[in-house]
Structure 1
Amino acid sequence: MGRRDFEDDPEAPAANSLVPAASVVVVDGRGRILLQRRSDNGMWALPGGAMNLGESLADCAVRETREETGLDVEITGIVGTYSDPRHVFAYDDGEVRQEFSICLLARPVSGAIAVSEESTDVRWFDPGDVDDLPMVNNIRRRVDDWRSGRMPAIR
């Protein structure tokens, strides 16, 4: 299913859905960040997705990371909370979702990198090598918030 991101766009469709989600900054022992190239928009992104009923935010983050990258992770902290109503995702099925994501920090504990139906590429990047990658602004903001090392962001 295709997805289009709108941020601060007066032409954006009105949101008709709000779904709690987790995104994950996975950092390995060498300080590299794990990114996936999304199959729905071709952009580099953090692993993550919508919470299911009956699971915690941490469980969601671990599940989504495993599903999208092949890695099992341990949650070690929080990067920030992202809930900007001017950032919506329009899906081909008519859903227009307002952003509501908590970005967690994690480290890999097992597994092997693998692409999924949601990704075309998954790889590790040195933090300084992500600036030129095609990435939606809000994902870039999460990466920048992590790189800044400040207190968790609330946006």
Structure 2
Amino acid sequence: MLRRFCRTANGLRRVMNLWPPLLFSGIQIMEMSEDYRYMKARLRNWPLTRNLHGAQFGGSLFAMTDAAYSLMLNGLMSKKYYVWDKSSHIDFIKPGRGEVYIECHISSEQLAEIQERTKEGEKFFPEFEVRIFDKSGETVAIAKRVIYVRLKPSFRPPKVPAAE
């Protein structure tokens, strides 16, 4: 039944906004383009998302970037690929006060490179940079997300035996 609601980007956005790890963390996906190439999310300014100093908790900032690119690539790559987060890193620039946001984009060039690098069944690890910013547009943190992408076995080309 869940798959029925996730057939479109808007349906996926709605389901993800009800998913407990996002919902209870104050994270909301505000926009997702129907072609899955753009997403905007926010971290609400809730008492439970702030640290001792009144700034947004670093774990909440990092969590906001967690599913973005893997969700988008899953929507773009259809059912032919495995797509998930492989690794990540965050660099905190300044305290996030109030609501903070991310905007994620996947270009045609990035998508073409992923498809080219995986067409023979190889693993590929594209890297995406996510800027977390406040209402005035100032950078709060920058996260780097490395995504694992690989064709599922049934879509990989047959292996050609090595010549002797």
Tell me, yes or no, whether TM beats 0.5: no
Bucket of the pairwise TM-score, normalised by the shorter protein: under 0.3
Largest Rg, 1 or 2: 2
Please give the TM-score of this superposition, normalised by the length of structure 1: 0.23
- Choose between structure 1 and 2 for higher RCO, CA contacts under 8 A separated by at least 6 residues: 1
